[in-house]
């Protein structure tokens, strides 16, 4: 049966990969992001292929914006089956004692508070219907800190704890909860982290074939379509020559 899938941060990277893969699966999509033009372009791309898509323009850091956007969903779109909490980012790679507090707040507000906001808005309906699936995009960075990762790693450790905690909270229901933990994925993630320094970002992927947003999306679609009695609780997805968050063999 086709599902209604809400994906945050759907304009690029893993979020865009998920939008395309769930569309290929025949699901109906609610795509959210801050860039209205990009959302419109993606909506047209997927609609031209036969997908049913609506878009919501808001920043997950703005709780009232998110609340208002979700409240205005058409009635036939309100029973969301899958929530993909993808919106997230990293900023900087400085030592913790030299970090930018404004960038810390942006990471915390997006990666943790934004995820919590969307969870609070969508999951009560899933619990009431006794059906649904939350897929949180965590990171290998949530397993262990790496040099310069400090606050970003902390936010992804929080995603793991929040995902595990939610899974416990809904264990008496049929709602499922998944944490996907990608390693090195080639998206605009590094461009953002390095504040638009494209050369520095591209160096991160030299000597190794990294994952793509589509690779992570494949796992998300698989988890969402597992049999009802199967809960894919956590998946660590690494490039072949990456062993952990800090061990990468370049050739």
Give the active site residues: 152
Dihedral sign computed on CA atoms, order 183, 226, 169, 73 = positive
CB 146, CB 245: distance < 8 Å = yes
Give the C-alpha separation, 102 to 174, whole Å: 40
Give the C-alpha separation, 179 to 167, whole Å: 10
Cα 143 from chain centre: 17
Write phi, then psi, for 107 (nearest 5 degrees). Answer: -65, -45
What lies within 8 Å, CB to CB, of 118 at 6+ separation is 6, 8, 60, 66, 83, 85
Q: Would you say how long the chain is, in residues?
A: 251
Question: In terms of Cα–Cα distance, which of 33, 20, 62, 51 is closest to 216?
Answer: 20
């Amino acid at each position: 049966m086709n599902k209604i899938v809400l994906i945050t941060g759907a304009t690029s990277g893993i979020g865009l990969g998920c939008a395309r893969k769930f569309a290929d699966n025949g699901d109906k999509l609610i795509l959210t992001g801050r860039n209205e033009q990009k959302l419109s372009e993606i909506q047209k791309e997927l609609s031209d292929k036969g997908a049913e898509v609506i878009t919501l323009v808001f920043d997950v850091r703005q709780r009232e914006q998110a609340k208002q956007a979700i409240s205005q969903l058409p009635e036939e779109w309100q029973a969301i089956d899958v929530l993909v909490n993808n919106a997230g980012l990293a900023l900087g790679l400085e030592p913790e004692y030299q970090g930018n507090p404004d960038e810390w707040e942006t990471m915390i507000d997006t990666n943790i508070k934004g995820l919590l906001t969307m969870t609070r808005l969508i999951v009560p309906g899933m619990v009431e219907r006794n059906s649904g699936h939350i897929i949180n995009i965590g990171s290998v960075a949530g397993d262990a800190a790496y040099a310069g990762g400090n606050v970003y790693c902390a936010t992804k450790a929080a995603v793991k704890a929040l995902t595990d905690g939610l899974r416990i909270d809904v264990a008496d229901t049929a709602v499922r909860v998944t944490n996907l933990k990608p390693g090195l994925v080639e998206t605009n993630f590094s461009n953002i982290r390095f504040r638009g320094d494209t050369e520095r970002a591209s160096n991160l992927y030299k000597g190794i074939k990294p994952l793509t947003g589509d690779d992570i999306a494949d796992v998300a679609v698989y988890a969402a379509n597992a049999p009802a009695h199967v809960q894919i609780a956590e998946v660590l997805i690494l490039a072949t020559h990456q062993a952990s968050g800090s061990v990468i063999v370049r050739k």
